[in-house]
Every structure is written in structure tokens, then in C-alpha cells.
A and B are shown apart, each in its own frame.
Chain A
């Protein structure tokens, strides 16, 4: 709708997305924006006489919405905040105890290779009644002690209040950015989302075209599925050899633990082995008897019916975890995509008028499984660079940002760590065992050795249902099950998992609740009226011929359903939690761009409304 007349506003710096990277940027910038005598280090270019005008737009309705437990060594955070006191952040505490626990399958339903089954024979006797075996030793690269546990939402709220209170920047939640304003290869600012439109984006009651925000510098920190990041990658391109193929969805919850729970605040548990070998889990205990917990379902788990929710429930109900969770209460729930490509998918970190920070810039360390502190570091390095350029009155060109931000990043400990971690996950492309060996090799040799493997795009990996289940069911059985599900309008994952022998989830209404209840009780999901659908299907003819429909099965909020009349998926915005998993849970390539899938996930409004995390 470029022909629509739009309002326009000038700022010096516009940030897209308020997460740990942008928080690190704004906090560090705020600390250095004034001289010792209180005068600003530079004058605003758009409002002469004023300090630089800095604004940040966040898509979610609050800067603390979302749900993610974090365990981190907090190196970068402590560099910026030497006096960081975790007691000031609700949910935060120091790491006290760390365990990595191998969970055996109590039901015998998980798909495991013969090698894994053989290996389990030796350690299974150690599992006992709880069907779990705590590893006697944790490799140094996985340790987070000394470090912190906190909920990302509470941390962002806390630091956001501090930033806004300082008066150096404005952070506006509930304001999605729909696109970057790109001229040639220069980013001139951003366009905010249109309001008062129907689901197709056409003007409706109260139509208000999104404003154009012209900025001297656009800081892009909108995460792995952010619309602006992907637009820039698409229009400006990725560096030669850079590919963003490795993904995971983290499904998470905050549980009020039962009063007699023996877990102490500061406890960190990581689990492997169950409910499928490809699925990892975590449980971090906060002060106040609460725990953040969740699982990660990666893109290299090839099941075309990879439901995170059902697996999440089986995982929580495992005897080892259920001993702590039974009698508790789910307070918050949600999901998020993780860009697990790390340096494999590093984009151009800066260009004319823009810089990339955080997860969208490939800052996640896939060896140590950490991303928050690394994201913060990218933001603080950019802030130092911006201060340098402001003081010298130099423009935010690619050349100047390369000389400052990119150079600082390449010289920092972050680059050293990310380089070591680059190939840590490659082996998982060939299976769980080779992945674990590959990770161990990388960790123990500082990245010199790894298990080499080509990292395929998700849509190149996902087999059809018949191939995936060929060892378990006949084609006839599969066809019958699919037909039954279609007739009921139900997804396939429950039917196939039931047939594989997975037991029914014993819903208790407190921790184990239906997925729809998780949306309402846990995620408090809402969709503000007057915004367009942010999930669409590019070529519906491809959808009609799709045998797997992994977008429907993998949707974290059951927001993608099957329209049996049209034979294609349809999207219900009211249920979407904006995890972005549909973007990579598709078995078809975009007909016009093989590096993308057939699902479009653009900027949208609404989603999770819970900050209890």
C-alpha cells in the first residue's frame, strides 16, 4: 500500500525489537551518551539543540511478554552492569547446582537407533525407579556457574524500566514494524504496521496507515523470525556461504512448584534422551518456589508430525520430573523459535544506515547453548561504536560501522566463542549420537575437531509421513489414520503417537492441561483487532498436494488448521503466539526462493500476554 499517504517522523536512531540485544545497546548507549558535565556527547541531527532522539519499537504488547527461562554466565551483562544484583530482578538468582540428566523412556515408544539402545543397556540399571541417570560429570563448556538464572520477560521489564527511566530512549511496545525503508542498499528507517485493516491488510474501519520513521541509524534486533531481519537478508542478501538452516522451537512454561518440592532456588537441570532422543529439556528453579522449564524440538528431528505440545506434556510427566512437578500449577506458557545456525548463518552485521544485533545476527552460541548474554554483548558493542561515531560526528555508513562495530565484534571474546562453536551442532544432521560426539569434539578441542555434515534446509529434510513411519505402519494403515483424522478435523500427531503406544496424557487441570487451555490460562493469548493476518501460505497449490502438513502439526498454538473443503491450511490469528515455527516447519520450498519455505510469516500484532516468567 505504498500509494497511501503516510505520516512521517524523523529520529536519530530507531531500534526494531526490544530483547536482550537491544536492551544491551540502549543501556550501554545511555551510560555513555553524556559527558561528565551532563551535556550530551552529540546533538540530535533531527532535533537540533536536543540530545540524539532514540526510539525502540517492540511488537509485543509489553516489553516483558514472552516466556523463556535463562541460565547464563552473564559475562557481558556484568561488563555493562558491574554491580548487577540479581535480587533486584524478580525470578533472578545465582546458579547453585547444575545437573545433566539422561531420561530413559518409561513407555518404550521413543524412536531410538540400535546403537543408542545398545548404549542404554549399560547405564539403564543406574536409572532406578525414576528412570533417569544424572551424568557424573558435566563438561566445562556446558557449565554456567558462576552465573545467573532469570526469566527473560522479567529481566527485560527490569532493564526496560531502567532505560526508560533514564530518559535517554523511548521504548514503545505494541508497535510492530512492518518493513525497513530500503533505498538501494541503504536502510533509511522503518515503516510501522498499518492499523484498522482486515485480515488481508485492506483498509477497514479506523484505517490508520503505518507511519514512516526516518532514522539515521536503524538497529535491527528483532530475533530469528523478525520481519525486518528477513527483509534485509532477502533484499540486501547474505554473505557468500551464509545459510540459516538450523532451527528449533522452544516450548516453555513457568510452574509454581508444590510446597513440598525439594528443589532449591538456583538449581539447573538439563535433560537429554526423552521424549525422543532429538528433544532436549531444561528446568531452572527461581526463588519463590517457581520453576521455568521447557523442551527444544529441533529442525533436524525429521518427524513430519513433530508436535511440541504433546511431547512437552510427556516430558513433564516423566517420573524424574513429575516427582518435582506433581501438585504444582502452570502459571505461564509459551513458545519461541530459536535460530540455531550461529555463525553458519551470520548476516552482514552492518550496512549503510543499519546494524544487526542479537539472535538475528547469528550471536547464539550453539556449543554452550546460550544466547541472551551473547545478544547483550552485540548490543553493547554496537553502542560503544555509535558513541564513537557520534563523538566524531561521522555518519552511520557501512564503512564507518564496519570499522567500529564489526571490527569491535571481531576482536571481542564473543567472536572467539562463536568461532569455536560454529560446527558444534553439525553432527546432529546425521543423528543424535553423531551430534553428541560432534558437540563433545568441538567442546574439548576448542572447535578444531567436529563431525562434518551438510546442514540441509528444513524443507529438504522433512520426509513424507509414509517414509517416516515405514518401519512402523503399512501405507494402508497410514492412509486410514489420515482419513480418520481428516474426517474429525483433527491433527495427525495425536493419532500417530497413540498408535505408536504413547499413553494418553493424564490431564490434571493444573500442570497437564489441554493445548487450548494452555493458550488461555498460560499464554493469555490475545489478538488485537484491526491488524492483518501475519501468517499466509504463498502457493496454495503446493499446500493442496502436501502429504505431511507439518505446519499444522507443529503449530505451537494450534493456530493453523486444515480447511477440508479447500484442502489447504488456514490461519487463526487469535490463537497465534508468534513463535514463528511455521516459517521453517514446512516441507515445501518457496517457488520463488529455494532458501525459504512456502509459509510467509510477516510482522503482526498480539500473541502472548504473560509476564510471569
Chain B
């Protein structure tokens, strides 16, 4: 498979989903309470996109991955200490807010500017990867806008499978309703793929990959330009969380059926 691709993965950081997230109104607009105290992770959908990109590079020698990320620099640096151990990539960092309240078009603008600025990127070989939506909001709008700004007309969202054939033939499976896939065939770059979860496990931590990545990560963070991304006209009013009822106990000897029956009974109460 002689194809060589330049894969740009767009992915930002989100608060670790295990944390308690509480929206509040701050002087700078809506935000999350104690957001800077919360640990962050790379957006899970973007992570899948990154792992898929790395896997594709293994199959297509000579290809290269850039990770373009708009985020507060200090937090992004911290997340990179985890992500950079996973797969090889070159970071392109943009300093800017990455909260789920940020205006999608502003983020798409910042990403487009950053991608345009990648010196050795060959857009005729471009595969533009990202998450099909964001864990911080789930609007799924940024990648579509970004594709339009970069004139990438072949766009696919909710992608779980990408198979690359000879001569840039792509078979792409998109999630559709009812647990089915829409199977697409397209040819030629550039192509935009908004990834769902894909099919790859999280790669193991590899210290050598980490050392290699860090040669570009720290300079990229130091070079990061600032993007003026705002919450636009978003006005936070309130949030209502589903009422939680917790009943925790440890069961060692119940069958799966018995546990399922009990949960159903509990839900019906």
C-alpha cells in the first residue's frame, strides 16, 4: 500500500468525565466550577481519532500525524504527558479556551488558521480527523465548519471504520440509527472523518514514544499562538441535572439475570 497521507487530528481537552461538573456563571461567561482544578483528558472521541490515525500511519509508511489542539496551555501540557506516551504525533498547539461553552465557529476558525500554518502539510494528501462530537458539549459542529473552511467537501461523521485501498480508495462506515452502518466509498484526498469510537483499544504507554513526542511537544507549547475564542452570545441560565438515587452494595453471588431483574424492579419503583 504505497499511499502516503498527511493526517491532521483535531482534538481538545475536556474535564476528566469522572469528575463532578457544575456549570456556573463567571465574569468571563459561563464555565464550570473549579474547572482549572479539575484534571483534564483528551476528548474521548478525538482520542479515538488519534489512535486510528496512528494505526493508519503504521499501514501507510511515510505518512505523518499532527495533533492540532486549542486549549489552555498549562492544561494541554498536562494532558500531553499522558497522550504523548500512546502514539507518535507532532503537536500544533493553540492557546485558547476549550470549555464546552465556547462558540463552535470561533474554535473552527482557530483550528483552520492553525492547520493552514503547518509548513510541511500537503493538503492534497490530507485526511482531516476529529471527534464527531465533543464530550464537553456534544454539538458536533466544529468539524463540519472546519471542513467547510478548509474546502474539504468529502465529510463523514460518526465513523467507526476506515479501510484504505489502493489509489486512495476509501471505504468508510458511518453510524446511523438502529445500530447499523452506512457504508460509503470515496476516492481521493482530502477527506474529513468525524470519528465515533472506532474499534481500537487504547494503546499501552510506551516511554520511547513519549520521549520522541516530547521533542516536539514542549517547543509546540512554547510556540502556541493565542486564539480569541469566546462564548459568543451564549448566556448561561441554569442547568438541571437528573435526580440521582444511589443505592450501592456489593453482590458476589447473584446471577446476572437476578441482578438485571432487580435493576428493572428498582427502575420501575
Contacts and interface: CB of A to CB of B under 8 A. Distances in A.
A196 interface: yes
A9 B207 contact: yes
B151 interface: no
B37 A195 contact: no
A211 interface: yes
Given A90-B34, A609-B39, A206 B204 contact: yes
A61 interface: yes
A172 B81 contact: yes
Contacts of A516: 248-250
Given A520-B248, A611-B39, A612-B37, A164 B81 contact: yes
B18 A609 contact: yes
Nearest to B78: A161
A514 B19 contact: no
A537 B37 CA distance: 37
B57 interface: no
B187 interface: no
A609 B38 CA distance: 10
B127 to A, nearest CB: 26
Contacts of A536: none
Contacts of B74: 161, 165
Name the interface size band of chain B.
Answer: 20 to 34
Name the interface size band of chain A.
Answer: 35 or more
Given A161-B74, A175-B85, A611 B205 contact: no
Contacts, number: 101
Contacts of B169: none
B103 interface: no
A520 B246 CA distance: 11
Given A157-B78, A489-B252, A517-B246, A611 B208 contact: no
A175 B207 contact: yes
Interface in B70-95: 74, 77-78, 81-82, 85
Contacts of B221: 165
B204 A192 contact: no
B16 interface: yes
Given A90-B37, A524-B18, A211 B81 contact: no
B139 interface: no
B96 interface: no
A561 B207 CA distance: 35
Interface string A449-470: 0000000000000000000000
Contact of B18 (A7, A154, A170, A526): A526
A160 B204 contact: no
B77 A164 contact: yes
Contacts of A195: 204-205
Given A164-B218, A516-B248, A524-B19, A64 B39 contact: yes
Contact of B38 (A61, A520, A611): A611
Interface in A171-214: 171-175, 192, 195-196, 206, 208, 211, 213
B184 interface: no
Contacts of A192: 207
Contact of A612 (B34, B77, B201, B204): B34
Interface string A508-543: 010000101100110010100010000000000000
Interface string A149-173: 0000010010011001101001111
A561 B250 CA distance: 10
A160 B77 CA distance: 10
Interface of B: 16, 18-20, 34, 36-39, 74, 77-78, 81-82, 85, 201, 204-208, 210-211, 214, 218, 221-222, 246, 248-250, 252
7 contacts: A160-B78, A165-B74, A174-B85, A196-B204, A609-B39, A612-B37, A612-B38
Given A157-B78, A167-B218, A211-B208, 10 more contacts: A7-B208, A9-B208, A165-B77, A174-B85, A516-B248, A517-B246, A517-B248, A521-B20, A609-B19, A612-B34
Interface of A: 7, 9, 55, 61-65, 90-91, 154, 157, 160-161, 164-165, 167, 170-175, 192, 195-196, 206, 208, 211, 213, 288, 331, 489, 509, 514, 516-517, 520-521, 524, 526, 530, 558, 561, 609-612
Closest 8 CB pairs of A and B: A524-B18, A516-B248, A195-B204, A208-B204, A611-B39, A90-B37, A62-B39, A161-B74
